[in-house]
A and B are shown apart, each in its own frame.
Chain A
Amino acid sequence: MSPEAAHLPEGILAHHFSSLERQNEAMRLGMWLFLATEILLFAGLFTGYSVYRFEFPLAFAECSRHLSLTAGTVNTIVLITSSFTVALSIHFARTDQRRAAVVCLALTLLLALGFLGIKAIEYTAHFHERALPGKYYAFEEVKVPGAAMFYTLYFLMTGLHGLHVVAGMSVLSWLLWRTNQGRYSSLYYTGLELGGLYWHLVDLVWIFLYPLLYLI
């Protein structure tokens, strides 16, 4: 057992790891493997998007201009800032500033809620305009072939992304509770770091969704 492991709270170092460094490295590798599968999951949708945008450039451009660019831009800023506050919370945890870490995590959750709120307002508008996926598409303002495909992909991509936001919020809430208990410190913060990695992935996906959906 490494010397610092002796000072660790109970239940952090699993018995099958010879040292905390090895456990940390294994945890990071495992998380990145999971993130790789997430990237490939979204890549399927981005490929579908590319094919249909290539086929229906006019319809995609026209539909894109009926989305709220303001809502999309504000949400981009909200998510980027939430990524920043998560990074800060890990920084505060590893420098033993527990209170600041908790505040940053709470801020992240608030920003995530704000993101979902703005998304909900946008979705409500689409439902009122009947700009819906597939055969439910009945949007009066765009009647070009391919328009329904744009909205199908829009709802699939933002919907799957939204589910990831909800999942990320659950993970961050749990981490907020554990951070408040004092589990993460300069001795050990890998658990919090992995939760942060997941949240950054949610941000990464949106960085690509924003120009591809709102700015054609």
Chain B
Amino acid sequence: MSESGSSGRENALHPDDRHAGHGHSAIPYIVVWIALLIFTALTYLTGKQHLGAWALFIALAIACLKSALVALIFMHLKDSSGMTRLVLGTSLVFVALLLFFTVGDVATRFRPATPAGAPFGTERSQPEGLLEHELPE
């Protein structure tokens, strides 16, 4: 933001409050809004191509980038105290743990490890060719 060079160490404890008042600029918000619209268009265009294995990776990468912009600029994380960042960081670590181990479990199962009548490991253990099946547009 434009005040990045703002004076003094005395403000270091409450970095966000130094933006109060008339010096505050709306330009970063406009830039982020336009960037978010461009990234949405990018998600739409790449998503429509159905790029196979890369599709999910590209979609999630763009979504993470968009989220980072919203969190840093719209939610003022860029200028807030370390404490609020720590809270967000901690929750994201636990989201990652939850996703990684749950999907990791499902992804590493094989037929003999799947109990009879289990809801999982049935469709996926069918021939690989199933994935190349023609899908309606």
Contact = CB atoms under 8 A, between A and B. Distances in A.
Nearest to B34: A84
Interface string B108-137: 000000000001111110000011010111
Contact of A58 (B33, B121, B123): B123
Interface of B: 13-14, 16-17, 19-22, 24, 26, 29-30, 32-33, 36-37, 40, 43-44, 47-48, 55, 59-60, 62-63, 66-67, 70-71, 73-76, 80-81, 83-84, 87-88, 90-92, 94-95, 98-99, 102-103, 106-107, 119-124, 130-131, 133, 135-137
SS of A interface (majority) = helix
Size band of the interface chain A makes with B: 35 or more
Contacts, number: 168
A216 B136 CA distance: 12
A58 B43 CA distance: 21
Closest CB pairs A-B (n = 3) = A215-B47, A211-B59, A36-B91
B40 A73 contact: yes
Contacts of B124: 54-57
A73 B17 CA distance: 36
A11 to B, nearest CB: 19
25 contacts: A24-B14, A35-B87, A36-B87, A46-B95, A47-B102, A51-B106, A54-B124, A55-B121, A62-B135, A84-B30, A84-B32, A84-B33, A87-B32, A94-B19, A94-B20, A96-B22, A145-B123, A187-B20, A200-B71, A207-B66, A208-B60, A211-B62, A215-B43, A215-B55, A215-B59
